[in-house]
Each structure stands twice: as structure tokens, then as C-alpha cells.
């Protein structure tokens, strides 16, 4: 019997090409996963970003604090050292609207092997800008005090929120840094962190990180969102440079595509971030626009909604990070990791969640 075997190059070429591609892909995949995985990924990342993952990060803790809060800040720093910084020695930058007393400096300077520096804020960073009518501000404080909102009648709280929103990252003591971790007095760091958090941020392209989120007292921000909308309308050239809404955290801050603000925000008493985010021309223009509307003083806009709204518009989703592995307490609000393996390194209980805002 005669079997005809004919080779038709026209019909066979696509099949051969297909087979060749499959084999090539399999070889590449196996090389990627089994040969020298982390090496290849690191080399690739370094090629992409120009960053060697082992390079040191210019980062610091930034602490706005009063002399009277010495004991509270000692407690926070001792825990920070114990759980994280004794291994990494990132410096601490203390800032104050007043001169730090010798007692404060003596009481803090040896809490870490790391460098401790102390700075004072100038009048531009802490104080009324010329465009604020201080009698209107005083009147609105008085009115708000009736609403039982925390710090409704406090002038210094408003200076603090404006400073944290628009100035801390411009203090000359922070000029040499790229990343910061904000720390407050009387907070707890409750889990052992055994990796370099700042390298994690830098090497993974993270720009903003948090542990707690909250909703805002509406009485403190009645006109904030309208001002954000006005900014978006008046500055299309800036909004154009933001990522598309679906790539950003737009949906974290608004449930109706921008009609209203849902008041969700990252709780900024804990904040790890890229200083360049706030130093950017886009953010500075946004901050100036808000500032000039007067809401930091005529209302009581917090730095938490301001940072959160800006970051949600300006960053891509993947540039955020939730540090679920960090146990953290501020006032009576606690984040304790849910993951059993992480919990072993923590001194909190996952079910010990306390949420009692009335205790304020």
C-alpha cells in the first residue's frame, strides 16, 4: 500500500511557529520561576527604576509635638525603637511651634541610637495667613463649639491641621529626606516589624501607606468638597495629570462619582509616605487653593481628609499600601492584625477592637 506523505510548507508554517512560541514561552516561564527567581526580578526592577533594592533610603520619623507632651512622645518612641527602629536607626525630626525646652531635648535625645534633630516652625508654617479674617474665624469657632465636635473651639488645632496639610514636608529639616513616617505622642506600636519599611515603600513604588481609616465629622468640613470640585473645574490642566479615575482611589472618597464626599479618609496620625507626593507642583497648587478658600480656619478642615482626597486623586491604586501587619493604637482606636502568623509577633489581640469616640 502506498501512503502519500506530503509536506506542505504553506500549511505547516503557522503550526510550526505556534509550537515554537509555546516552547519558548515554557522555557522562559520555567527559567523565571525555577532558575534564579529573586535575582532576575531584582535585576529587572533595578533596570526599570534605576534603584538597587539594597540602597539605603533617605527617610525619617517626623514628630510635631509640644514640650508638655514629653512623656507621651517618649512612650511612642520607646515602642517604635523596640518594635522596629533599633534594627534600622532612622533619624527623628521633632518639630514645634515653640522652642523645645532643654528638658524636652534631654528627655528624648538618648531614646535611640539614631540622630535626633529639633526644629521650630516659622510664622508662615504656623499662624494666620494674611487673607484670613481672624474675627470671622473666631466667630465660626464659637458657633462650632456648640456642635460638640472635638477641638471645635481650638485655634491651635486649626494651625496644626493646616501645618500638617501644607507645610511639614517643606520644613528645611526634611529637605534631605524622601520618605517620612509620622509619629504622635501616646500611641502604641504593637507588633514586631522585621523588615525595612522604608525600603519596602521605595522598592515597591509605594507612595502612601496607612493602618486606620475613618469617616470625618461632617460639621468640620461643610464646604471642603465643593472647594475640591471648584479646584477641579478651575484647574483642568492639573486634573489632566492625575491618573484616570478608575486607576486611582476615586471610589474610596466618593460614592456618586464626585457629586459628594463620603468623608472616608486615612487616619493621618499614622502616615508613611513619599515626601515628593506633597512637594509636587500638583499638590502644592491643590493645597494653596484650599488654603485660600479659608476652610482651615472658617471651618475646621483636618489634614486627614485633605491628604486623603489629594492622594486618592493623585496616586494610582497600587501606590497605596495598607500595613495590615502593624499593630497600632491611637486614642481608643486600634488596628491589630487579623493574620494568625502575624499576631504571634504582636502584643494586641485581634478581637480587642475598641471604638469609642464618645470618650473624647
Ligand X SMILES: Nc1nc2c(ncn2[C@@H]2O[C@H](COP(=O)(O)OP(=O)(O)OP(=O)(O)O)[C@@H](O)[C@H]2O)c(=O)[nH]1
Stretch that binds ligand X, among 1-9, 62-70, 242-250, 346-354 (CB under 6 A): 62-70
Partner in contact with 66, chosen from ligand X, Mg ion, none, beta carbon below 5 to 8 Å by kind: ligand X
Partner in contact with 185, chosen from ligand X, Mg ion, none, beta carbon below 5 to 8 Å by kind: ligand X
Stretch that binds ligand X, among 10-18, 60-68, 132-140, 283-291 (CB under 6 A): 60-68
- Give the nearer residue to ligand X in terms of CB position, either 166 or 254: 166
**In contact, 117 and 91? CB cutoff 8 Å:** yes
- Give the nearer residue to ligand X in terms of CB position, either 45 or 186: 186
Pick one of 254, 268, 269, 293: the residue that binds Mg ion (CB under 5 A): 269
How far apart are CB 92 and ligand X at their closest, in Å? 13
76: contact with ligand X by CB under 6 A: no
184: contact with Mg ion by CB under 5 A: yes
- The single residue of 81, 184, 216, 271 carrying the catalytic annotation is 271
185: contact with ligand X by CB under 6 A: yes
Pick one of 42, 58, 66, 149: the residue that binds ligand X (CB under 6 A): 66
How far apart are CB 302 and ligand X at their closest, in Å? 7
- Give the nearer residue to ligand X in terms of CB position, either 69 or 299: 69
81: contact with Mg ion by CB under 5 A: no
Pick one of 69, 271, 299, 325: the residue that binds ligand X (CB under 6 A): 69
Stretch that binds ligand X, among 36-44, 47-55, 61-69, 246-254 (CB under 6 A): 61-69
CB atoms within 10 A of CB 170: 15
269: contact with ligand X by CB under 6 A: yes
How far apart are CB 68 and ligand X at their closest, in Å? 9
Pick one of 79, 96, 108, 254: the residue that binds ligand X (CB under 6 A): 96
Query: What HEC string does the chain produce?
Result: CCCCCCCCHHHHHHHHHHHHHHHHHHHHHHHHHHHCHHHHHHHHHHHHHCCCCCCCCCEEEEEECCHHHHHHHHHHHHHHHHHHHCCCCCCEEEEECCCCCHHHHHHHCCCCCCCEEEEECCCCCCCCCCCCCHHHHHHHHHHHHCCCCCCCCCHHHHHHHHHHHHCHHHCHHHCCCCEEEECCCCCEECECCCCCHHHHHHHCCCCEEECCEEECCHHHCCCHHHHHHHHHHHCHHHHCCCCCHHHCCHHHHCCCCCCCCCCEEECCCCEEEEHHHHHCHHHHHHHHHHHHHCHHHHCCCCHHHHHHHHHHHHCCHHHEEECCCCCEEECCEEECCCCHHHHCCECCCCCCCCCCHHHC
User: What are the backbone dihedrals phi and psi of residue 233, each rounded to the nearest 5 degrees, phi first?
Assistant: -70, -40
65: contact with ligand X by CB under 6 A: yes
Q: At what angle do helices 281-293 and 303-314 cross, to 10 degrees?
A: 140
- Give the nearer residue to ligand X in terms of CB position, either 126 or 283: 126
Give the HSE-up count for residue 121: Cα atoms under 13 Å, Cβ half-sphere: 24
Q: Taking CB under 6 A as the rule, which mask of x and - marks residues 127-166 in contact with ligand X?
A: -----------------------------x---x------
Stretch that binds Mg ion, among 25-33, 44-52, 205-213, 264-272 (CB under 5 A): 264-272
Annotated active-site residue 271? The verdict is: yes
**In contact, 88 and 200? CB cutoff 8 Å:** no
- Give the nearer residue to ligand X in terms of CB position, either 75 or 331: 331
Binding site for ligand X (CB under 6 A): 64-66, 69, 96-97, 156, 160, 184-185, 269, 331
Active site residues: 271
Amino acid at each position: 500500500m502506498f501512503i502519500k506523505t506530503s509536506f506542505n510548507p504553506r500549511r505547516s508554517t503557522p503550526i510550526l511557529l505556534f509550537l515554537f512560541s509555546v516552547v519558548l514561552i515554557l522555557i522562559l516561564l520555567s527559567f523565571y520561576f525555577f532558575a534564579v527567581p529573586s535575582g532576575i526580578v531584582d535585576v529587572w526592577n533595578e533596570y526599570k527604576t534605576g534603584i538597587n533594592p539594597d540602597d539605603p533610603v533617605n527617610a525619617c520619623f517626623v514628630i510635631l509635638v509640644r514640650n508638655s507632651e514629653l512623656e507621651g512622645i517618649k512612650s511612642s518612641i520607646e515602642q517604635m525603637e523596640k518594635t522596629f527602629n533599633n534594627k534600622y536607626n532612622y533619624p527623628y525630626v521633632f518639630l514645634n511651634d515653640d522652642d523645645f525646652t532643654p528638658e524636652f531635648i534631654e528627655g528624648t535625645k538618648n531614646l535611640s541610637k539614631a540622630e535626633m534633630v529639633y526644629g521650630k516652625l516659622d510664622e508662615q508654617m504656623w499662624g494666620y495667613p494674611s487673607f484670613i479674617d481672624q474675627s470671622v474665624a473666631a466667630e465660626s469657632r464659637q458657633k462650632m463649639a456648640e456642635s460638640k465636635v472635638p477641638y471645635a473651639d481650638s485655634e491651635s488645632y486649626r494651625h496644626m491641621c493646616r501645618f500638617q496639610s501644607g507645610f511639614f514636608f517643606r520644613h528645611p529639616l526634611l529637605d534631605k529626606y524622601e520618605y517620612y513616617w509620622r509619629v504622635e505622642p501616646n500611641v502604641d506600636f504593637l507588633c514586631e516589624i522585621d523588615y525595612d519599611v522604608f525600603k519596602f515603600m521605595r522598592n515597591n513604588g509605594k507612595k502612601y501607606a496607612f493602618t486606620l481609616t475613618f469617616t470625618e465629622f461632617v460639621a468640620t468640613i461643610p464646604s471642603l468638597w465643593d472647594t475640591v470640585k471648584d479646584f477641579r473645574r478651575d484647574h483642568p490642566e492639573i486634573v489632566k495629570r492625575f491618573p484616570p479615575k478608575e486607576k486611582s482611589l476615586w471610589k474610596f472618597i466618593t460614592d456618586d462619582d464626585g457629586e459628594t464626599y463620603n468623608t472616608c479618609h486615612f487616619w493621618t496620625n499614622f502616615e508613611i509616605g513619599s515626601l515628593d507626593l506633597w512637594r509636587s507642583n500638583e499638590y502644592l497648587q491643590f493645597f494653596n487653593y484650599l488654603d485660600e478658600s479659608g476652610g482651615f480656619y472658617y471651618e475646621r478642615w483636618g489634614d486627614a481628609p485633605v491628604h486623603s482626597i489629594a492622594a486618592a486623586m493623585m496616586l494610582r491604586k497600587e501606590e497605596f499600601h495598607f500595613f495590615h501587619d502593624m499593630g497600632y493604637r491611637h486614642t481608643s482606636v486600634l488596628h491589630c492584625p487579623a493574620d494568625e502568623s502575624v499576631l504571634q509577633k504582636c502584643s494586641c489581640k485581634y478581637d480587642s477592637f475598641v471604638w469609642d469616640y464618645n470618650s473624647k
